[in-house]
Amino acid sequence: MNIAIIMAAGKGLRVGGEIPKQFVEIDGHMLVEYSIATFQQHPGIDEIIVVIPEDCPSAITQRLKTQFAKITRFVVGGTERFQSSWNAVQLFADRPGDNLLLHDAARPGITPRIIDDLLQALSTGEAAVTAMPAIDTVLRGDNERTLLETFNRSRVFYAQTPQAFRANLLFDCFTKLWQKGGITPTDESGLVKHFHPDIPIHIVIGEAVNFKVTYPNDLKIVGYNNIVQILKKHENKATADEDTNMPCKTACGDAYLPKLSRLDRSSSVRNRETPVTEDDYKYMRMAIEVSERNIAEGGGPFGAVIVKDGEVVAASGNRVVPNNDPTAHAEVTAIREACAKLGTFQLIGATLYASCEPCPMCLSSIYWAGISRVFYAGTRYDSDDVGFDDSFIYDELAIPISERSIPFRQILHKESLRAYHLWATKDDKVRY
């Protein structure tokens, strides 16, 4: 039996936010789901075990279990990486011949080819690691940053995961570690090398796409590269389960999602059901054209187009600088233009095409305007790259008023309520 052990117990705080990075959603899927999907689809993998944090909400485990039939159990991890892997490895005390592939959940881009090669290596050996040949020359220095040694690049590798071992070999190494101690290896292969230096560990060549998500921008890369395709394949198979997944998603939200300020939840299930027509592409290209033209006209690199009943009712670039108006984002100015043209304060039935994912202000404006559909091209991370960082606003929205960076203090509460009373008792008011 070949068992994938997904190491998802880490806190992973470097990606930002309070949520462990392996549970951050990208394009509607948690990071951990990408690699699990690849193992699920691989015909050589019989079983998947997921090592989770102690406080992992049951909604997350249910959501994983519902989607991936090969998951046989969840194991609670320990405080250290080794404790976590041991908690899984010790399950195999009486299954010595099984092959264990330990994979880091923060590497969503694991490919079937890597799994093939690892299984092939274990058919003749007992241990194999995934690693990338070094591109740059690797230097070793001392604590003063003085060069001690230059390595021959052709013999230097960067470790990736999975690392794969026969169960009894790893079980034995861990047993010796707990009994004898004395070493702090950085990974399982180091452990095997220490206690069984005679056993060859085969190096399987990894892939760049199998990189480790470490920094916030890495999440963006995940969303953009072909990793998404891996999951899409799986998704087609799992569409029938979509309805049963929904309650889990909601439940997960209760536990974790409110904290996810940098979360890209752009393609929710509902969004995936939004059909895209040729016209949608046409209008989006128009919005992108506006964004490019707008730069020459003194504005920022953003454009928005609003279409209602098959007619373009507004097209605007970002006019913050030319208009001396910090609220003149492309979407907001397009909404103002469309409402003025149509003589209404509501744009129900209209579609907005934004060259970039709307910021929190524009998002609010879209809701207040009652716009029915939104398409966007670039993401907030793209604009972040060229100096438009609105992530702090997402962060501010998620925290209590008292903790916001701009002080908010409530005064004259009672006096303010008179206006509400006047409004409530006015007979001829126009509701909006």
Query: Does residue 362 belong to the site contacting Zn ion (CB under 5 A)?
Result: yes
At its nearest, how many Å lie between Zn ion and the CB of residue 120?
A: 51
Stretch that binds Zn ion, among 51-59, 226-234, 327-335, 404-412 (CB under 5 A): 327-335
At its nearest, how many Å lie between Zn ion and the CB of residue 288?
A: 16
At its nearest, how many Å lie between Zn ion and the CB of residue 332?
A: 6
At its nearest, how many Å lie between Zn ion and the CB of residue 241?
A: 36
- Please provide the size of the chain in residues: 432
| Residue type present at position 361 | M
CA angle, residues 363, 357, 263, in degrees to nearest 5: 85
HSE-CB at 324 with a 13 A cutoff on CA atoms is 0
Q: Which of residues 124-143 bind Zn ion (CB under 5 A)?
A: none
At its nearest, how many Å lie between Zn ion and the CB of residue 329?
A: 3
At its nearest, how many Å lie between Zn ion and the CB of residue 80?
A: 44
Number of residues that bind Zn ion (CB under 5 A): 4
Which listed residue (24, 115, 359, 369) binds Zn ion by CB under 5 A?
359
Strands 71-76 and 47-52: parallel
| Residue number, 221 or 393, with CB nearest to Zn ion | 393
Can you tell me whether residue 76 is helix, strand or coil? Answer: strand
Can you tell me whether residue 351 is helix, strand or coil? Answer: strand
At its nearest, how many Å lie between Zn ion and the CB of residue 338?
A: 16
- Region of 102 (left: φ > 0; alpha: ψ -120 to 50; beta: rest) is beta
Stretch that binds Zn ion, among 86-94, 190-198, 329-337, 368-376 (CB under 5 A): 329-337
| Residue number, 288 or 359, with CB nearest to Zn ion | 359
| Residue whose structure tokens are 């940098």 | 262
| Residue number, 116 or 382, with CB nearest to Zn ion | 382
At its nearest, how many Å lie between Zn ion and the CB of residue 361?
A: 5
Can you tell me whether residue 28 is helix, strand or coil? Answer: coil
Answer yes or no: 331 catalytic.
yes
| Residue number, 49 or 356, with CB nearest to Zn ion | 356
Catalytic residue among 25, 188, 331, 357: 331
- Distance (Å, whole) CA 107 – CA 32: 8
DSSP per residue, 129-186: EEEEEPSSPPEEE-TT--EEEE--GGG-EEEEEEEEEEHHHHHHHHHHHHHH-----S
| Residue number, 128 or 314, with CB nearest to Zn ion | 314
Query: Does residue 314 belong to the site contacting Zn ion (CB under 5 A)?
Result: no
CA angle, residues 298, 302, 308, in degrees to nearest 5: 120
| 8 Å CB contact between 267 and 274 | no
| Residue number, 18 or 292, with CB nearest to Zn ion | 292
Query: Does residue 177 belong to the site contacting Zn ion (CB under 5 A)?
Result: no
Query: Does residue 319 belong to the site contacting Zn ion (CB under 5 A)?
Result: no
| Residue number, 20 or 317, with CB nearest to Zn ion | 317
| Residue number, 286 or 362, with CB nearest to Zn ion | 362
Q: Which of residues 61-80 bind Zn ion (CB under 5 A)?
A: none
- Distance (Å, whole) CA 82 – CA 179: 14
| Residue whose structure tokens are 């490919």 | 111
**Secondary structure of 320-354 as H, E, C letters:** HHHHCCCCCCHHHHHHHHHHHHHCCCCCCCCEEEE
Stretch that binds Zn ion, among 79-87, 150-158, 222-230, 354-362 (CB under 5 A): 354-362
HSE-CB at 204 with a 13 A cutoff on CA atoms is 29
Which listed residue (329, 356, 375, 376) binds Zn ion by CB under 5 A?
329
**C-alpha torsion angle, residues 358, 361, 367, 370 (rounded to 10):** -80
Which positions touch Zn ion (CB under 5 A)? 329, 359, 361-362
- State the catalytic residues: 331
